[in-house]
Every structure is written in structure tokens, then in C-alpha cells.
Amino acid sequence: QKEVEQDPGPLSVPEGAIVSLNCTYSNSAFQYFMWYRQYSRKGPELLMYTYSSGNKEDGRFTAQVDKSSKYISLFIRDSQPSDSATYLCAMRVDRGSTLGRLYFGRGTQLTVWP
């Protein structure tokens, strides 16, 4: 079992829809949770991060972490065609021999059509 599971999609939604992207994980030592966005033929870029449980909002994006369920989500409100990309979740521990290593989900491919 992979440490981080993410449904690869693809996910296709109309412009203006609310998008929900999710990941589950098995390692209870994960403390930092991130979402990366990757456009075609580009490297991933950090979109949002959260530490431990809770919500974080940045414009149209909201990241949620539920450590009790080992489940994280990214919500995109009023989705735009420019949001079309692959979204990868990532997480890491905050101490120990694996400090510095990010564990990635496989990525969810999102298409927002006008």
C-alpha cells in the first residue's frame, strides 16, 4: 500500500463549478500537508500548505486536513479554465531520519471547460 493515495481522475468540470480533490494517507507521523499544481510540460509548483489539522484558505482555494481520518482535501471555488492542471498532494514528517522527504500522491488531472 502506498503511503499516500490519490485518485488520478481524470476530472472534468464546467467553468464555475466547485472542485473537490482528495488524498488519504497511512502514516500518522505526517505533519505537513501540501498541494502542488502541475501544468502540462512544467514542473510542479507549490499551491498551498497546512501544518497539522485544520483549514486554510487562499482566494478561491481551500485546503483541509483531517488527521483523525488521515484525509486531506483541496477545494477550488468558481473554477476557471486556467485551473486545468494536474494536482498533486504531498506530505511529510517534521522530524526523524526522513526529514526533508516529501511523499507524493499520484496526482489528479483536472480539466475545467468553458
Partner 1 sequence: EAQVTQNPRYLITVTGKKLTVTCSQNMNHEYMSWYRQDPGLGLRQIYYSMNVEVTDKGDVPEGYKVSRKEKRNFPLILESPSPNQTSLYFCASSFTVTQGLYGYTFGSGTRLTVV
In sequence order, the β-bridge partners of residue 63 are 56, 74
Least distance in angstroms from the C-beta of 107 to partner 1: 6
Our finding on whether 75 is near partner 1 (CB under 8 A) is no
Backbone phi and psi for residue 40, each to the nearest 5 degrees, phi listed first: -55, 130
Least distance in angstroms from the C-beta of 43 to partner 1: 3
The Cα–Cα gap between 65 and 82 comes to 25
Query: Site map for partner 1, 26-65, x if CB under 8 A?
Result: -----xx-x-x----xxxxxx--x-x--------------
What residues contact residue 85 under an 8 Å CB cut-off, 6+ apart? 37, 38, 39, 40, 109, 110
The position carrying cell 526529514 is: 99
Least distance in angstroms from the C-beta of 10 to partner 1: 12
Tell me which residues touch partner 1 (CB under 8 A): 6, 8, 31-32, 34, 36, 41-46, 49, 51, 88, 90, 92, 94, 99-102, 104-107
